Amino acid sequence: METLIAYFIKVNIALIIFYLLYIAFLKKDTFFAFRRYFLFVAIAFSFAYPFISVSAWGNIISFEKPQEYTSQVVVGEPSFVVLADEGQLAEPVNRITIDWWQVLLYILSAGIIFFFARFIWQLVSILHIKHKSVRKNIDGIQVFDLHDEITPFSFFRWIFIHIDSHSHTEIKQILLHEQTHARQWHSADVILMELLCVFFWWNPIVWLMKRETAINLEYLADNDVLRQGINCRDYQYHLLRLTYHQNASQIVNNFNVTQLKQRITMMNKTKSPARKLVKYLIALPLAFLLVAGNSVYAKNDKSNYAMESQQSSQKKVSKSNYIFTNVEKQAQFVNGSDALLKYIKSEMKYPKDALINNVMGRVFVNFIIEKDGSISDVKIFKGVNESLDKEAIRIIESMPKWIPAEQNGEIVRVRYNSSINFVLPAELNTEGLTIQTNDEDKNDFFYKQDKAYIDHFETFSEMILFPGGEEAYNKFVIENIKYPEIAKDKGIQGFVSVNYAINKDGEIYNIKVRESADPILDKEVVNTIKSMPKWIIRDKDKYGVSVKNLPVIFRLQNDKASEYTGVESENSFVVVGYGNK
């Protein structure tokens, strides 16, 4: 694909250069035959020179690219989310990728198909006109008498005229003109330019070159008619009378074309002196530069190919130890993502110091999945802190064997990137709290040394109860939290979140405001917590310290209240203030 695109680019660069040279230096002279040859040779050279490479010229300049060595790549990007009370696997997101080169190829192909169909249709239309016409002989010349009144034209050796529309003198001029087209094979030039437009329809220079070719062929035919002794003025009047006649097709040599003014101007122009033919030699240094540029490109491309081949050979030699950068079949955890989720949940242990210091975040790791499915070379490439990083490595290293990756039907090694996100839920989040413990229970903070954190926290919910249960707790909060009058007067509202700890005796201490709306509202929530009765502790021997959270939303319903845009949570208590309008 890249080679074909490079070839097309080279061809079109040459066509553009030669067209600009033609317009700048050659368009206004009267060397019509030389101009025809120039255009034909320019097109042929443009298609041929990408295959011409002179090795000596390739040493002029070197554009060798610096080598890039790749030892690993992201094969998959799953994100393992680890909570302090529940493990969760975030499935990889299927991203939609667009191959823009492929899109461009489809667009170019669609254009080629359209214009090629148009070209075939024009050929068929000529055959249809020939079928409807009557073959006749005029002064020993075979012509096709057109059924419809359209402009006379020729296609290779076929000459078409609507005989009844022209006088004998006009028919003589037409035959001279069209015989020149037929004798000099002008239709071949027209067909060549049509095919060029089919394959390079997207290049406007090609269409301009087609127009210049068509008008130059008419200059050639007009010049030949005048050389036969036809009066120039009479011939020009004849052309003017045919101006509004319908043309048969774009791929024929029409006796009348739209560039009539240019044709008449060229007929009346003084012949260019022979010395001006030297202008055509300017094409030679341009051709030299194009070949030299292609030689440089070919040399560097060959050098890059040789280096890539060498690297490929080296890879084949050490294939057994190569860490693949891309694979056809990715490695998978045994029994799929559900099994991986269960594994993460069972193995996860939230580090104690991270729990106390309220540390959360995503740890990015990569590791190699060996041919036997085992895990090796686990590395942190973006960590959070030492304890979470170590826990992430421990989880990955303790994984059972995976189903290995495959490339070309062979089992291969592959480097796999992933991330583990450590998150503390609100009820375990100790941000803003200073936990106080005594010597006898310092080893019982949040968990027993020989037990997993999750098991211990789940036990807390069974060991500690509000007197009367959860309904009594909700009723207590609702009945005791009041909207402060001063806050209503000032139009104060917002979200307040307060943490508090409960010791072995069920007493509340260490009350801390995590999120504040206003000191007046904060104080109301703190006072409510302080007024709570002792909590019920079922087993003091197993109990350490429990951290609770009370979230409250204060919202006003009066003219003073601004629109509330704070936190909304189904676990929050909502206190509405009325009145004081």
Confidence at residue 418, expressed as pLDDT on a 0 to 100 scale: 81
Structure token pair of residue 485: 């009058």
Element (H, E) at 501: strand 494-502
Predicted TM-score (pTM) above 0.85: no
Task: Give the residues across from 309 on adjacent strands.
Answer: none
User: Distance between CA atoms of 364 and 416, rounded to whole angstroms?
Assistant: 11
Domains of the chain, each with CATH number or no CATH: 76-96+319-422 (3.30.1150), 439-577 (no CATH)
Q: How far is CA 59 from the centre of its chain?
A: 37
Confidence at residue 123, expressed as pLDDT on a 0 to 100 scale: 93
Question: Which amino acid belongs to residue 63?
Answer: F
User: Distance between CA atoms of 253 and 189, rounded to whole angstroms?
Assistant: 10
Three-class SS state of 256: coil
User: Distance between CA atoms of 268 and 219, rounded to whole angstroms?
Assistant: 11
Confidence at residue 435, expressed as pLDDT on a 0 to 100 scale: 35
Confidence at residue 74, expressed as pLDDT on a 0 to 100 scale: 35
Per-residue pLDDT of the chain in tens (581 residues, 90 and over written 9): 567 778 888 999 999 999 999 999 998 898 999 999 999 999 999 999 988 877 766 555 554 444 433 333 333 334 444 444 333 333 334 445 677 878 888 899 999 999 999 999 999 999 999 999 999 999 889 999 998 888 889 999 999 998 988 888 889 988 999 999 999 999 999 999 999 999 999 999 999 999 999 999 999 998 998 988 888 888 888 887 776 556 666 666 666 555 778 888 888 888 889 898 898 888 899 898 888 888 887 777 665 655 555 555 554 544 567 788 668 888 888 888 778 777 877 787 778 777 767 777 888 888 998 989 899 999 997 888 888 888 889 988 989 989 998 888 889 888 888 878 777 654 444 444 333 333 333 333 332 323 333 333 434 445 688 898 888 999 999 999 999 998 888 889 999 999 888 888 888 988 999 888 888 999 999 999 999 999 888 766 655 567 788 999 999 886 544 444 444 455 688 888 876 54
> 541 burial class (0-12, 13-18, 19+ CB within 10 angstroms)?
exposed
User: Distance between CA atoms of 158 and 127, rounded to whole angstroms?
Assistant: 11
The C-alpha torsion from 224 through 226 and 230 to 234, rounded to 10°, is 120
Residue 296: count of CB within 10 angstroms of its CB: 19
Confidence at residue 186, expressed as pLDDT on a 0 to 100 scale: 93
- Could you tell me the CA-to-CA distances from 549 to 428, 430, 529 in Å, in that order? 9, 9, 10
Nearest to 162 by CA among 140, 186, 181, 138: 138
Confidence at residue 570, expressed as pLDDT on a 0 to 100 scale: 53
Confidence at residue 505, expressed as pLDDT on a 0 to 100 scale: 84
Pinpoint the alpha helices (H) of 331-423.
Answer: 336-347, 352-356, 386-397
User: Distance between CA atoms of 145 and 404, rounded to whole angstroms?
Assistant: 78
Structure token pair of residue 81: 């989310």
Three-state secondary structure of 33-49: HHHHHHHHHHHHHHHHH
Confidence at residue 317, expressed as pLDDT on a 0 to 100 scale: 43
